[in-house]
Amino acid sequence: MKKTYTHALAALGLIGALALAGCGGGGAGSAGGAKSEKPGDLLIGVSMPTQTSERWIADGKAVEDGLKKDGYQVDLQYAGDDIPTQGQQIDQMITKGADLLVIAAIDGTALSSQLDAAAAAHIPVISYDRLIRDSKNVDFYVTFDNYKVGVQQATSLLKGLGVLDASGKETAAKGPFNVELFAGSLDDNNAHFFWNGAMDTLKPYLDKGVLTVPSGQTKIEQAAILRWQQETAQKRMEDLLTSAYSDGKKLNGVLSPFDGISRGIITALQGTGGYGTTIADGLPVVTGQDAEIGSVALIDQGVQYSTIFKDTRKLAKQAVIVSKDILDGKKPEANDTKSYDNGAKVVPSYLLQSDTVDKAQIKPLLIDSGYWTEAEVASGVAQ
Ligand code: BGC
């Protein structure tokens, strides 16, 4: 299956001018000297981290469908959040002769040997949603504006607490509001971007004392949840309630970076008693991310305050466009060539925009766009 992609690699700047001349002098987009392959002859390996979260199931399916629609062969694999499994799956894709790899890494630093092997076999690599770190063999990155996701999460927390009004203007509320902070998995590059965006937004209010963190855990290493797991988040919230709130202090809000983590936090809060079951009854304001159906239903019921909607249909579409460009020998369009230094190089990126969804935004953003149906929101189950 594997063909020689001198042409595609030249478009990405992966081989030098001499080699380019050697392939017939064709520049990006020209046919000079390049083999013309039919999509049906080409195999694309798509490596996704896990099926425990809906978003990755939707991402995998949408990327596979989009590539197949363009005629490509696709090998889609999920790694069950197990790092060695993901490595083996990518090794197998390379052995099978994949012509391009699209990878959403579990651990952004654990795929160096796979990326070396891909480069040796002239297989271009697209980092999908999560940046693969410490390798220069990452050709392109498609993602969302991850720093801005963090800003949106923190802004939503401030609105939920009443520190900002609906339009984002400061109110007269001085607090102090008790908040706790959660971060994602430290081996996921995105977790750091979300955290930095959120903390830059919260910092002025922490400095002024409008917000306080009774646990004192304000470092990402203290707030991180390995593999973004719901159970780990629930346990950390239970521990925080025991250690920092047993004197009757009330928690007002929680910065949560992912809906699974949010549901773990909410379960812990509802379990301790004294917080009620909805925000109206006294449950703290909890943020989220991904617009998972379980959380969208909770937002609709007034239990979770908000989530960040990242339209995975758009991300998958962009990954398909970039794959096609690379395989056609064209330079993919980047809209950010500064932000994503993976430790070995700055990876050209295409960033999409995300939206905050609170109860009022469920209909316009999620239902009207066909992301979830009204029945799904009412039941909390994807159909
Ligand atoms: C993604 C988030 C997701 C998280 C947990 C991050 O890399 O960008 O959308 O919530 O992983 O799966």
Q: Is 372 in the pocket of ligand 1 (CB under 6 A)?
A: no
Cα(302)–Cα(126) distance, integer angstroms: 39
Q: Is 258 in the pocket of ligand 1 (CB under 6 A)?
A: yes
Q: Is 107 in the pocket of ligand 1 (CB under 6 A)?
A: no
Task: Give the residue-averaged pLDDT of 83-97.
Answer: 97
27 CA from centroid of ligand 1 (Å) = 37
Is residue 186's pLDDT more than 80? yes
Task: Give the residue-averaged pLDDT of 279-300.
Answer: 97
Sheet with 140-144, strands from edge to edge, namely 73-78, 43-48, 100-103, 125-128, 140-144, 349-352
User: What pLDDT score was predicted for residue 29?
Assistant: 32
Is residue 25's pLDDT more than 50? no
Q: Is 232 in the pocket of ligand 1 (CB under 6 A)?
A: no
- Which atom number of ligand 1 is nearest to the Cα of residue 289? 10
Give the pLDDT confidence of 246-283 residue by residue, as tens digits: 888 999 999 999 999 999 999 999 998 789 899 999 99
Give the pLDDT confidence of 204-249 residue by residue, as tens digits: 999 999 999 999 999 999 999 999 999 999 999 999 999 999 888 9
Task: Give the residue-averaged pLDDT of 51-73.
Answer: 96
Is residue 14's pLDDT more than 80? no
329 CA from centroid of ligand 1 (Å) = 30
User: What pLDDT score was predicted for residue 24?
Assistant: 29
Give the pLDDT confidence of 154-170 residue by residue, as tens digits: 999 999 999 999 999 99
Is residue 182's pLDDT more than 60? yes
Task: Give the residue-averaged pLDDT of 359-367.
Answer: 98
The band of 2, judged by pLDDT with boundaries at 50, 70 and 90, is: low
User: What pLDDT score was predicted for residue 274?
Assistant: 80
Q: Is 188 in the pocket of ligand 1 (CB under 6 A)?
A: yes
Is residue 17's pLDDT more than 90? no
Q: Is 192 in the pocket of ligand 1 (CB under 6 A)?
A: no
Q: Is 153 in the pocket of ligand 1 (CB under 6 A)?
A: no
Q: Is 311 in the pocket of ligand 1 (CB under 6 A)?
A: no
Task: Give the residue-averaged pLDDT of 191-199.
Answer: 98
Task: Give the residue-averaged pLDDT of 129-152.
Answer: 97
- Which atom number of ligand 1 is nearest to the Cα of residue 258? 10
User: What pLDDT score was predicted for residue 27?
Assistant: 30
Residue percentage of the chain with pLDDT more than 70: 91
Supply the mean pLDDT for the chain. Answer: 92
Is residue 19's pLDDT more than 50? no
Q: At what angle do helices 259-272 and 293-300 cross, to 10 degrees?
A: 50
Characterize 279-311 residue by residue with b for buried, 16 or more Cβ atoms within 10 angstroms of its Cβ, and e for exposed: beeebbbbbbbbbbbbbbbbbbeebbbbbbbbb
- Which of 289, 306, 353 is the best mutation target for the ligand 1 pocket, counting ligand atoms within 8 Å of the beta carbon and taking the most? 289
User: What pLDDT score was predicted for residue 18?
Assistant: 35
Total residue count of the chain as it appears in this document: 383
Bond prior to 84 in cis (omega within 30° of 0)? no
User: What pLDDT score was predicted for residue 28?
Assistant: 31
- Which atom number of ligand 1 is nearest to the Cα of residue 259? 10
Closest CA to 196 of 225, 179, 219: 219
User: What pLDDT score was predicted for residue 30?
Assistant: 32
Q: Is 309 in the pocket of ligand 1 (CB under 6 A)?
A: no
